[in-house]
Amino acid sequence: MPAPTLVLPTGAPRAEWLEARRSGIGGSDVAALVGVHPNKTALHVYLDKVDDDRQDEAGEAAYWGSLLEPVVADHWARIHGKHLAEAGTYAHHDRPWMLANVDRLIFNAAGDPLPEEIYEGKTANQHKTAEWEQGERIPDHYQAQCQWYLGVWGLPRARIACLIGGQRFVEATIERDEEIIDGLITVAAEFWQRVINRDPPSLDGEPVGPALDMLRLIHGTSNGKTVDIGDRGLALLGDYQQAKAEESAAKTRADEARRDLWAILGDAEVGTVDGQEVVKLANEPKAEHVRKASNPRVLRPKKKALESVRAGRAREEGAAA
């Protein structure tokens, strides 16, 4: 496979990097397109590509991840005796919209002309430990990202390392999978045509958390107007009310169980069954957090009005029968 084409060299100004990113689809983008990114939807990616006014807002976690990236990379290189070199932004040799901005390229030794593998370094907080499962599994969005990069570069595998909680190092290998790469290219090609045609994707079927974040972003302020939500909206309101009722009932059951367990434990901290520790009730200090003032939109069904509408629909159906 021919080598990819250099789009931007290492160390290019961030403004140029952001502009280049709009010219195609990168590894993080493709993870969102196939529904495995924890924070982004396809609509997030679409708006990033077509809206010149959107700002790249890297949070605190991203800041520290960037700061620790060379530390993790140096540790991996020492363990494996390989040479790592930073890479700029590259594009697939005959699909210029396929972009790769890998963390490092792996060379057997300094001065070798061609890389042999791709390196990706990550950081995660301790609450993400389960996602890595002792290093034997890699979160889905990173798997998609690495397969995409392998597709751009034509290399056989990617090495991924992660520093968890600032003190636990895990690593894994991702072998090139042609079936996965072909699937990613198919989805991404259809999406890129949407970008060209200025045809935004819908949020239907997207992961709930990222989709709600996007709705807060694009529809976060009420305009005071009224809109007929139709039969689909009426059905969704019913689903919402039923789910909230079930949620409330489940919370009540959980609180009742907690109450009764606490009564059994009393002042004890640990509860056992057949000699095995099965529950713990300990004092755990909570850090104080300062929250910014906000004015979020809150969904509030009108119970009496809904009952009236449903009763009217039932009467109409009865008369028609």
pLDDT, one tens digit per residue, over 280-312 is 888 877 655 545 567 776 777 778 877 888 888
Residues 197 and 258 both lie in one domain: no
Residues 152 and 229 both lie in one domain: no
Q: How far apart are CA 74 and CA 53, in angstroms?
A: 36
Highest mean pLDDT among 107-111, 153-157, 241-245: 153-157
Q: What are the C-alpha distances in Å from 287 to residues 200, 284, 290?
A: 41, 10, 10
Calculate the average pLDDT of the chain: 86
Residues 252 and 136 both lie in one domain: no
- Single out the residue in 176, 204, 232 at which a domain terminates: 204
- Single out the residue in 179, 204, 229 at which a domain terminates: 204
Task: Give me the number of domains the chain comprises.
Answer: 2
pLDDT of residue 152: 96
Q: How far apart are CA 137 and CA 131, in angstroms?
A: 7
- Single out the residue in 178, 204, 230 at which a domain terminates: 204
Q: What is the pLDDT of residues 194-230, one digit of tens each?
A: 999 999 998 887 778 888 887 887 778 888 889 888 8
Q: What is the pTM of this model?
A: 0.71
Q: Which residues constitute the domain of residue 134?
A: 5-204
The pair of structure tokens assigned to 17 is 């990097």
In a domain, 100, yes or no: yes
Residues 108 and 12 both lie in one domain: yes
